Amino acid sequence: MALDLNFQHRVKARLISIAHTVTLFIAMSIICIPGLWIVLNSFRPTVDIMAKPPVWIPRDLNLDNYYAMFGGAGEGGVPVLQYFTNSLIISVTSTLIALLIGMAGGYAFARYRFKGKNAIFIGLLLTRAVPGVALSLPLFIVMAKTGLIDTHIGLIMVYVAMNVPFTIWLIDGFFRQIPPDLAEAAEIDGCTRWQAFWKVEFPVAKAGVASAGIFAFLTSWNEYALASQLTRSTFSKTMPVGLRDFTSEFTINWGGMCALAVLMIIPALVLTFLVQKHLIAGLTFGGVKG
Amino acid sequence: MASVQLNNVVKKYGALEVVHGINLDVAHNEFVVLVGPSGCGKSTTLRMIAGLEEISGGEISIGEQVVNDLPPRDRNISMVFQNYALYPHMTVRENLGFSLKIAGKEQAEIDRAVNEASTILALEDYMDRRPGALSGGQRQRVAMGRAIVRHPDVFLFDEPLSNLDAKLRAQMRVEIKKLHQKIKTTIIYVTHDQVEAMTLADRIVIMRDGFIEQQGTPSEVFEHPVNTFVATFIGSPPMNLLQGKVIADNQLAFAEGFTLPVPQEFVGAVKAGQDIVLGFRADNLMPENHALDLDEASPPIKMPIVVSEPLGTETLLYTRLAGGEIQAKMLKPRPVVDGEVLTFHLDLARCHLFDADTQKSLR
Ligand SMILES: Nc1ncnc2c1ncn2[C@@H]1O[C@H](COP(=O)(O)OP(=O)(O)OP(=O)(O)O)[C@@H](O)[C@H]1O
Ligand SMILES: [Mg+2]
């Protein structure tokens, strides 16, 4: 009898674990296959990409699309390097600014009491409920009047505004988890308020700042809708906007587009990889007894 | 090396006043324990001394210097927090050396001080671990180590033992006492545990609702509580209290027709018709043949045992008297059956009388 019950449970556990694996596999496939398809297509000639029925197993892989992308600016080629630089400058700068403001704001929300704190906080979050595209026309007009259309600064400002509410919210959450006692202990140990922040609170909240940073970077890096309105020339176009250069009136250069897409994915991957060490809650809050 | 003075210190949070002008003099090298129920303002007082909390009124001086407006770093104090507040991203060694590093000391000097502290607190084996990988007691020791490396003028402790289990707490209590003997320094120690207060303190300061109720040596506050609050707060089990009235012939009358003579000490201090509260400890109410010698024995009192709690060398007896439940103690205990009626004697010389209105001692 008892043996039976044990057996039943074992079978049940087994079935559940199989179901787990299958579900996970399906979910991961849905997430990963489009990405893999892009990478694969970037190495294939257009014939293969467009083949019907699709060619699943690659036959003829080459780097032609990449050569074309970097080399042949002449024959309607796309100034990819310029786009890459634009993207990098705009994303990195806007991320750094958003992080600085996010840290200052998040710390203030986590540590200080002031009038209208909750209202301001909710107001910040509400700004995220407004779809960015809805702002594109007003933004366009403002930028046009101030001469910021087609400049790095214009886009940087837009992205900072987009990211700040989220970085504040995320960083606030991390500072909230750090007991105020830590900074107080540091002050007693001889730190100024400023030192206590940089030597104790900031290192402990690094994981939060890093994740906010990744988020802000990826948002700016991938943003298309606003960038397509506010940029015009190679001087400020970012890579997502640049992707459109591969479509001409009658043809779409899928291979080239995929190659550029891969180029876009790489920095995002590298960054995530570098920072993930901090993301894994490597920092146990063991300094205080919970 | 310094004394600490609090002069009419007030703390307000907005309109809410939580510390009402307290005065306290802590002598150089004295071990003072602030004790009181939760929310009475002990931590607030300690944090004002540390400089973590602004003072709304009055004056605090450390070593003759008024420190009202000095930031914590300029007060040369150390503090051990209830939750230890160790820096989670630093090793034990770095935690210990942090204050010296901030002060810009040479590495060799830091190493020497850190090693000395780690020897005193037996931390040598954990020096390269992070706080997250330490047990509660080890973290507690690191927190103390971090406090002593700086050789501060004053040590502040805010309930440092309350996160430890009973056994470890007793052990650390002894450690702290030894530490005080070793590194003679002024210590102000906050706890809500009266046992900790009694065992550690040179002087106990009992607080309630932002006021100091009484201060004195442990034996003073134990033997001469100024009011019923101190009487019931200090000592375990808490002092028994019985509401009563002084009647003619120096007799005290209680509910259910129970009477006692007024203790000699209070004859003349009370007058007939006065409402009083009688206080006595379990140790002074003992059954016949299981008692110490009494200085001023009361007439025999017969009481039924409700529950008995054998503690080994003695048994705590819960009985009923004059409508109240009171506790008595049986020395050289024998097994007691619940409901059994025993004859007790109260030591009147160890009784306290309090005024029923003010709750103050009539001594
Ligand atoms: N920031 C604050 N704002 C308003 N009131 C506060 C604040 N901090 C503390 N108080 C109040 O001050 C009183 C004293 O608090 P305190 O922390 O000093 O108590 P305590 O004696 O240390 O108690 P415990 O034993 O629970 O630690 C409490 O009634 C508390 O509610
Ligand atoms: Mg407290």
Q: Is B71 on the interface with A (CB under 8 A)?
A: yes
Q: Note whether A287 contacts B136, CB cutoff 8 Å.
A: no
Q: Is residue B107 part of a domain?
A: yes
Calculate how far, in angstroms, residue A142's C-alpha sits from the geometric centre of ligand 1: 51
Who's near A153: CB < 8 A, 6+ residues apart? none
- Are residues B78 and B217 located together in one domain of the fold? yes
- Are residues B249 and B220 located together in one domain of the fold? no
pLDDT band at A107 (very low <50, low <70, confident <90, very high): very high
Q: pLDDT tens digits for B12-71? A: 998 899 999 899 999 998 999 999 999 899 999 999 999 999 899 889 999 888 888 899
Q: Tell me which H or E stretch contains B123.
A: none
Q: Note whether A289 contacts B139, CB cutoff 8 Å.
A: yes
Residue in B closest to A282 by C-alpha: B89
Q: Is residue B326 part of a domain?
A: yes
Could you list the residue range(s) of the whole structural domain that residue B180 is in?
Answer: 4-233
Q: What is the 3-state secondary structure (H, E, C) of B67-96?
A: CCCCCHHHCCEEEECCCCCCCCCCCHHHHH
Can you give the pLDDT at residue A286? 38
Q: How far apart are CA B135 and CA B143, in angstroms?
A: 12
Query: Of B233, B258, B281, which residue constitutes the final position of a domain?
Result: B233
Domain boundaries, chain A: 2-69, 80-284
- Are residues B193 and B66 located together in one domain of the fold? yes
Calculate how far, in angstroms, residue B145's C-alpha sits from the geometric centre of ligand 2: 21
CB B31 within 8 A of CB B187: yes
Q: How far apart are CA B232 and CA B222, in angstroms?
A: 10
Assign residue B229 the CATH number of its domain.
Answer: 3.40.50.300
Per-position pLDDT tens, chain B of length 363: 688 989 999 999 988 999 998 999 999 989 999 999 998 999 999 999 999 998 998 899 998 888 888 999 888 899 999 888 999 989 999 999 999 999 888 899 999 999 988 888 888 888 889 988 888 888 988 998 898 888 888 999 998 888 888 888 888 888 888 888 888 889 999 998 888 899 999 999 999 999 999 999 999 999 999 999 999 999 888 899 988 888 877 888 888 888 888 888 888 788 888 888 989 998 888 888 777 777 777 778 888 888 888 888 888 889 988 888 889 888 888 888 888 888 888 888 888 989 888 888 887
Which residue is closest in CA terms to ligand 1's atom 29? Answer: B39
**How close does chain A come to B202, measured CA to CA in Å?**
25
- Are residues B129 and B250 located together in one domain of the fold? no
| Residue A201 token pair | 């609170």
> In 10 A of CB B233, how many CB atoms?
23
Q: Is residue B362 part of a domain?
A: no
| Residue A183 token pair | 């900074």
Q: Note whether A204 contacts B88, CB cutoff 8 Å.
A: yes
Q: Is B327 on the interface with A (CB under 8 A)?
A: no
Calculate how far, in angstroms, residue B322's C-alpha sits from the geometric centre of ligand 1: 38
Q: Is residue B62 part of a domain?
A: yes
Q: Is the preceding omega at residue A45 within 30 degrees of 0, hence cis? A: no
Q: Is B136 on the interface with A (CB under 8 A)?
A: yes
Average pLDDT, chain A: 84
Q: Note whether B72 contacts A188, CB cutoff 8 Å.
A: yes
- Are residues B229 and B138 located together in one domain of the fold? yes
The three-state secondary structure class of A86 is helix
Phi, psi torsion values for A190, nearest 5 degrees: 110, 0
Query: Of B179, B214, B233, which residue constitutes the final position of a domain?
Result: B233
- Are residues B117 and B265 located together in one domain of the fold? no
Per DSSP, the residues of A210-239 read HHHHHHHHHHHHH--HHHHHH--STTT--H
Superfamily designation of domain A80-284: MetI-like (1.10.3720.10)
Question: What is the 8-class DSSP label of residue A287?
Answer: T
How many domains, chain B? 2
Instruction: With beta carbons under 8 A apart, name residues in chain B contacting A177.
Output: none
How high is the ipTM of this complex?
0.82
- Are residues B229 and B244 located together in one domain of the fold? no
Can you give the pLDDT at residue A284? 41
Q: Note whether A187 contacts B71, CB cutoff 8 Å.
A: yes
- Are residues B249 and B214 located together in one domain of the fold? no
Can you give the pLDDT at residue A74? 45
Q: pLDDT tens digits for A136-157? A: 888 889 988 998 888 889 999 9
- Are residues B189 and B115 located together in one domain of the fold? yes
Question: What is the 8-class DSSP label of residue A17?
Answer: H
CB B6 within 8 A of CB B49: yes
pLDDT band at A279 (very low <50, low <70, confident <90, very high): low
Please give the order of strands across the beta sheet that includes B203-208. Answer: B77-80, B154-158, B186-191, B31-35, B203-208, B211-216
Q: How far apart are CA A94 and CA A99, in angstroms?
A: 8
Protein residues whose CB sits closer than 6 Å to any atom of ligand 1: B 13, 16, 18, 36, 38-44, 192
- Are residues B133 and B256 located together in one domain of the fold? no
Q: Is residue B83 part of a domain?
A: yes
Q: Is residue B361 part of a domain?
A: no
Q: pLDDT tens digits for A219-231? A: 899 888 888 888 8
pLDDT band at A256 (very low <50, low <70, confident <90, very high): confident
Q: Is B150 on the interface with A (CB under 8 A)?
A: yes
Rounded to 5°, the CA angle A14-A20-A21 comes to 95
pLDDT at A75 over 70: no
Can you give the pLDDT at residue B248? 78
